[in-house]
Amino acid sequence: MPPPLAPERTGLHRDRMTLAFYGPFVVWGWLLYSFNPSVPLLADELGISAAQAGLHGTAMAVGAIVASFVTPMLVRAQGRRGAIVVASVAVVVGAAAIVAAPSLPWSLAAMAVLSWGGNVSISSAQAGLAVRHGSKASAALTEGNGVGSSVGLLGPLAVGACVALGWGWRPAVAVTALLALATAVAVWRIPVGGAMTPPHAVTPPAPARGAARAGSRVPAWCFVATLVAAVSMEFATTYWATGLVIEQTGAGPGIAAATTAGLVAGMSAIRFVVGPLSLRVAPATLLAAAFVVAIGGWAILWSATTPWVAMVGLVVAGLGYGAQYPLSIALLLATAPGRADAMQARATLVGGLAIGVAPFALGALSDAAGTHQAFLVVPVVAIVGAVAAFLGGRSLRLRLEPAVPLEPGVAADR
């Protein structure tokens, strides 16, 4: 019997449903990487402190937390297709509202709506990919996130260009609404069936990388910890890297915001490498290594005194960050075969809490001690993530055995 998480010899099949599930990642990627670097610019525009601007992360968390409770019910009531379409419409409304926001309360409310829609959409798509691809879920989830961050790579560049032209950050963020509309149309054209569950259907169990032996306790908490670490690091960095670059290098706001593209470039590139690699190397091993790489990128960024060195640091950090979230999700879902939507809801909940705490906490630290000193928190979080990934991977190797294939022709050869 081969060991769990053993090499996968077959490739990932990308059908129309898979590509449609990638749509929410594109929308979310553009939103994150166009709005998050704009937060310091929004703070200056509204005349608010860094901690107050960090409340947008809290509003995003509120939307995510509500989505974690609503998504399983919405998927069951409307079907996976209906849930993604409804969520995409909410993204359109939220994006339009945040672009038009004249004050902090308005923008916070808009972000909560936008986050709710984005998280319902992403959660539904991630669980759908896990069901659709089973033992290859790590590759599908990582590639989906890679597609999203690749499109999102243009977000910081668009913000920088719009600021340089005197238009401000808002036109760049408004593109989110157009992408959400396109995603709604693409998903609606996919027939209901299989992973695109119809209304009032029970989510079919996915042939997972491994199923727990009866009586064993798979350490889902390890991958919950890596997920929290990954989300905290990514959001804290995308929110405040612009401020760090301005503080340490003296770069203008437009140039500083554009350097964030380095982080997204690294994240995008590594996801297209880690996806296929996760079918040959244990995903938990790759996850632990990703946290180590992120520390190296942080060290370059933290010590940078010129914008180009800061961008190099962000690229290296992105090579670590990019693998952390999708691998954490894939490993977490693998601990609960047949309960993808329920486990994804828990992941959304803890991720939302991390979004709410991390940017606000780093913003508050920045107000108190400066952004440079506040960023010392990042490597500490990365070390916690690396240890959790190592422990989780070790326990999986000891406690899991291959799952029995659930559908003809779908191998769960783990």
Q: Do 182 and 151 meet the contact criterion of CB atoms below 8 Å apart? A: no
Q: Give tens-digit pLDDT for 351-367.
A: 888 877 887 788 788 78
Of the pLDDT bands very low, low, confident and very high (cuts 50, 70, 90), residue 211 is very low
Q: How far apart are CA 158 and CA 153, in angstroms?
A: 9
Got the DSSP string for 251-277?
Answer: --HHHHHHHHHHHHHHHHHHHHHHHHH
Q: Give tens-digit pLDDT for 119-152.
A: 999 999 988 898 888 778 788 888 888 898 888 8
Q: What is the mean pLDDT of the chain?
A: 83
Give pLDDT, residue 218: 53
Give pLDDT, residue 10: 44
| Segment 187-205 mean pLDDT | 79
Q: How far apart are CA 273 and CA 318, in angstroms?
A: 13
Give pLDDT, residue 344: 86
Between residues 266 and 239, the one the model is more confident about: 266
| Segment 252-275 mean pLDDT | 84
Residue type, 392: G
For residue 401, pLDDT over 60 is answered with no
Residue 148, φ and ψ in degrees, nearest 5:
-65, -45
Say what percent of the chain tops pLDDT 90.
Answer: 36
Q: Which of 162-171, 182-191, 361-370 has the highest mean pLDDT?
A: 182-191
Segments making up each domain of the chain, as ranges: 16-401
Architecture field, domain 16-401: Up-down Bundle (1.20)
The CB-side HSE value for 335 (13 A sphere, CA atoms) comes to 26
For residue 1, pLDDT over 60 is answered with no
Of the pLDDT bands very low, low, confident and very high (cuts 50, 70, 90), residue 219 is confident
